[in-house]
Structure 1
Amino acid sequence: MVDKNILNGKKHIHMIGIGGSGMYPLAQILHSQGYLLTGSDNNETETLDAVRKMGIKVFMGQAAENIEGADLIVYSAAIMADNPELVAAKASGADVIERSDLLGIVTGWYDNAICISGTHGKTTASSMTTQILMEEGVDLSCVIGGKLKAIGGSGRAGQSDVMVCESCEFVDTFLKLSPDIAVILNVDADHLDYFGTLENIIKSFRKFASMASKCLVVNGDDENTLTAVDGLDKRIVTFGFGEDNDYSARITAKKGLRTDFELYVKGEKQGDYSIFVPGEHNVLNALASIAAVREVGVSYDGIRKGLAEFRGAMRRFEKIDEIDGITIVDDYAHHPNELAATLMAAKGLDFERVIAVFQPFTYSRTEILMEDFVTALSIADVCVLTDIFGSREKNTHGIYTEMLGDKIDGCVYFKTPHEIVDQQTAEQKDKNFAQVIDYLFENAKEGDLIMTLGCGDAYKIAKRLAKKLRQARGE
């Protein structure tokens, strides 16, 4: 257990991997509190430019001498144990803390920490909630898992007592937080390589819910969520399409990316609202955001304006380009339920065909949820698969793309020798992506919606395809 007072008396904090999406918001908050910060990273990014504009010294590349003078060193989970700065930090006698532990401490600084959890939708709901609070004029702090244009990145440091924190269940990270208002969007079987069973996931969400100091905001339509909070001695606020929820919605119109709905509060119609991100699942995200911000006193006018201004977080149904009637969109969906919701939303739009380009992520998830992936990806008119992105895993499962592809009618994939796939080299991935891009370039037609899907780097396919289509036009 990390000492909650570890920051007491600290002046100089060094952050290894300061340009990461999870580290940058913490750097903003710590900087606003007057700490002297330094950091290091291996790649130049727009985020590092933003860090430097705050007056924070950034070292390119990681070396033992970079931590000199620091009395606290923070590192992200992506930093390997043999990283020279981390090795030097542990030998220095200074305190060393992992990013998620620090985030847990920081959430305890706020009297109204809105911690948004769920197997799916966390980034969108966190971004929606942030957008609403911004439109209301609340000077909030936030840490979200994607980039939001309204705040120019993945985080913000404010002076109010309100914080929005995306709260991830993977390896029980969210159990380190200090939620005042704990939001649970949904609970599904995911990260089974860690949790093992759905029952263990539900238990973990129950622990998270039990930590809320003020109230729980939960999906009253979701059976697993209700099981997780059943019997807890907490004030519970429910949202969903069911009329018995505290906050419910009735969809009145859908056109393009816009969905109109009536909001009901305890059964009474409150007003008419619109969102500009597609799909019924995003109406649920909106309801969760509405319920959460009402707990900190946001007006319904502020909610209406915030939802109308929200155009999605990056990598959440993000439009990349439109060329000759071919629309290219990228989305982070990587679990079968997310894929199904996203593809159903896409099918409800005005396109001739929906082409799903999916990068399976991890061998264990692909194996365990194989049949669910088949069902979800079959919603698309055409499914194109890349090789599996192993990420943190070795392929001890003997799972390959063709095992999924052969179960989906008309699925397109490019078979790579197994011994080459297992090496997971950048050169092989680039070759596989090039095969997919060539297929899409040759077969896409006016009226198509091409969606790259996955939590790895499938977005590169979308951007490279758009570039190739524009080059073909002489642009």
Structure 2
Amino acid sequence: MSTYYFVGIKGTGMAALARLLHDQGHTVLGSDIEKETFTQGPLLAAGIEILPFDPANLASGMIVVQGNAFGDDRPEIVRAHEMGLTVQSYPDTVEQQVQAYTSVGVAGAHGKTSTTGLLSHVFAGLQPTNYLIGDGVGKGTADAKNFIFEADEYRDHFLAYHPDYAVMTNVEFDHPDFFKDLDDVVASFTTYGQQVKKGVVAWGEDASLRSMELAVPVYYYGTQANDDFQAQNIQRTTTGSEFDAYYHDEFLGHFIIHLYGEHSVLNSLAVIAIAYLEHQDMTAVASELATFSGVKRRFSESVYGDVVVIDDYAHHPSEINATIDAARQKYPDREIVVVFQPHTYSRLQAYLAGFGEALRKADLTFVTPIFGSIREQAGNISSQDLIDLVPGAKSIDGDSLAQLNAIDKPVIIFMGAGDIEKYEDQFVATLK
């Protein structure tokens, strides 16, 4: 067994990987900022030590895992090289797990965390499985046969991976601070697909995914006649969704999920496809799907009297559409209120019209100040530009959250990828 030192151990991916390696019997510790994060508690509960950043933390024999947010000029990284320690990136460390097991990497502009969580839950219920989920959850298991992981396209991190299977939920232009346009994104996904060993499971209604030419078989899933894996007879109710699944003309079974939104049916179908390709029993798969309740910050619900509060990571127009669709399914007779925090100036600038169109599907929209990124300068755009596109929309911040208390029996969705939770926590405190 080895000793791993994580530089930036509180990051969601890093924390998940640290927990996985710890479960496998390795000694794991790391450094990060002192501000508390949602990943901190589980790390400490596992007995993983978290230290302040300091090159003096390093010791001989350590394997240093360099977080994606930290450059080679970071003092701990500089010191690690001076000491002759092995320094490897987060993706390179994940790739070691990829090569050790039957592996499935889940990629996509949207839905990869939810799909990774669902796939991990199902396979862990079928046989020993290791997994890394983008909500900070990682699990290692003795005698594992599979490794399920989230493959993030940002800055081409997923090109470090060569899994047995890839799930591709969709391709859209995102991360405008890195990719030039949609063609640039498609090129990266194509390269990733060319590194897959056994097969790719891809959403059939995505024209970009349909256009990819890969060496391995591509199995399309969806609701159309030309899809290999199809969901038919879909029923969506206030308790979830159910559907029949087919592989071509082969009936695979009737599946019930306690999840909401059209995207949840598609995510479940992708999981069924991977399970089928790995010759899993479909009755057992159906049982596991029925017990999945979701992942962190993806339609996470809390109820306070007559007020429903939903926490969601949505920060792209497609994700906002999916989340509002899910809320409409579960709460068809309630007012759907969105509190949206734009994430980065570049993203708001790139998708301004799309954000406006998506947010108009809510009954009432509030927009917070923009969550800026350390990677970019403030642009010539503000939250007001978005508010102007949504009839009835209003601005909101920590000093004006009382606006929400005046709404009768609302379903309030706090959306964003920045620090939207600070507004949510402040509002919830008034409800308690």
What is the aligned partner in structure 1 of residue 303 from structure 2?
321
* Alpha-carbon separation, structure 2, partners of 1:69 and 1:47: 27
* Alpha-carbon separation, structure 1, partners of 2:276 and 2:253: 15
2:179 aligned to 184, 190, 195, which one?
195
* Alpha-carbon separation, structure 2, partners of 1:33 and 1:306: 24
Could you say what secondary structure the match of 2:133 adopts?
Answer: strand
* 1:50-91 deviations in Å (ceiling 9; x for gaps): 4456555x2421212100224421121234666442332233
What is the aligned partner in structure 2 of residue 464 from structure 1?
426
Work out whether residues 13 and 71 of structure 1, in 8 Å CA contact, stay in contact via their aligned partners in 2: yes
Work out whether residues 135 and 295 of structure 2, in 8 Å CA contact, stay in contact via their aligned partners in 1: yes
* 1:85-126 deviations in Å (ceiling 9; x for gaps): 23322332222222122212321122x101111111001101
Once structures 1 and 2 are overlaid, which stretch shifts more, 363-372 or 88-97?
88-97
* Alpha-carbon separation, structure 1, partners of 2:205 and 2:119: 20
1:409 aligned to 371, 379, 391, which one?
391
Q: Measure how far apart 1:311 and its partner are.
A: 0.9
1:255 aligned to 237, 241, 247, which one?
237
* Alpha-carbon separation, structure 2, partners of 1:51 and 1:316: 21
What is the aligned partner in structure 2 of residue 62 from structure 1?
53
Q: Measure how far apart 1:413 and its partner are.
A: 0.7
What is the aligned partner in structure 1 of residue 416 from structure 2?
454
What is the aligned partner in structure 1 of residue 154 from structure 2?
170
* Alpha-carbon separation, structure 1, partners of 2:178 and 2:431: 41
* 1:273-327 deviations in Å (ceiling 9; x for gaps): 111111011100000111112222321112111111011101111102232x221
Task: Confirm or deny that 1:121 pairs with 2:111.
Answer: yes
2:407 aligned to 428, 444, 447, which one?
444
Work out whether residues 9 and 50 of structure 2, in 8 Å CA contact, stay in contact via their aligned partners in 1: no
2:317 aligned to 315, 318, 336, which one?
336
Could you say what secondary structure the match of 1:201 adopts?
Answer: helix
* Alpha-carbon separation, structure 2, partners of 1:404 and 1:410: 12
Alignment CA distance shift 1:311-1:35 (3 Å): closer
What is the aligned partner in structure 1 of residue 28 from structure 2?
37
* Alpha-carbon separation, structure 2, partners of 1:216 and 1:118: 12
Task: Confirm or deny that 1:21 pairs with 2:2.
Answer: no
RMSD across aligned positions (CA): 2.1
Could you say what secondary structure the match of 1:160 adopts?
Answer: coil
Q: Measure how far apart 1:259 and its partner are.
A: 0.9
Work out whether residues 263 and 273 of structure 1, in 8 Å CA contact, stay in contact via their aligned partners in 2: yes
Letter of the 1:217 counterpart: V
Letter of the 1:116 counterpart: V
Work out whether residues 28 and 157 of structure 1, in 8 Å CA contact, stay in contact via their aligned partners in 2: no
Work out whether residues 253 and 283 of structure 2, in 8 Å CA contact, stay in contact via their aligned partners in 1: no
TM-score, with length taken from structure 2:
0.93
What is the aligned partner in structure 2 of residue 347 from structure 1?
328
* Alpha-carbon separation, structure 1, partners of 2:379 and 2:45: 46
What is the aligned partner in structure 1 of residue 350 from structure 2?
368
Alignment CA distance shift 1:269-1:194 (3 Å): same
Q: Measure how far apart 1:46 and its partner are.
A: 7.0
Q: Measure how far apart 1:186 and its partner are.
A: 0.6
Letter of the 1:322 counterpart: Y
Could you say what secondary structure the match of 1:25 adopts?
Answer: helix
Could you say what secondary structure the match of 1:145 adopts?
Answer: coil
Task: Confirm or deny that 1:144 pairs with 2:144.
Answer: no
Work out whether residues 251 and 259 of structure 1, in 8 Å CA contact, stay in contact via their aligned partners in 2: no
Q: Measure how far apart 1:269 and its partner are.
A: 3.3
What is the aligned partner in structure 2 of residue 428 from structure 1?
none
Q: Measure how far apart 1:209 and its partner are.
A: 0.6
Q: Which runs of 5+ in 1 are unaligned?
A: 1-9, 148-152, 415-431, 471-475
What is the aligned partner in structure 2 of residue 433 from structure 1?
398
* Alpha-carbon separation, structure 2, partners of 1:303 and 1:14: 37
* Alpha-carbon separation, structure 2, partners of 1:350 and 1:96: 52
What is the aligned partner in structure 1 of residue 196 from structure 2?
212
Aligned length: 430
Alignment CA distance shift 1:393-1:13 (3 Å): closer
Once structures 1 and 2 are overlaid, which stretch shifts more, 41-50 or 68-77?
41-50
* Alpha-carbon separation, structure 2, partners of 1:41 and 1:394: 22
* 1:389-443 deviations in Å (ceiling 9; x for gaps): 11234335211111111111111015xxxxxxxxxxxxxxxxx3332x22112x2
Could you say what secondary structure the match of 2:177 adopts?
Answer: helix
Work out whether residues 277 and 317 of structure 1, in 8 Å CA contact, stay in contact via their aligned partners in 2: no
Alignment CA distance shift 1:36-1:459 (3 Å): closer
Alignment CA distance shift 1:26-1:394 (3 Å): closer
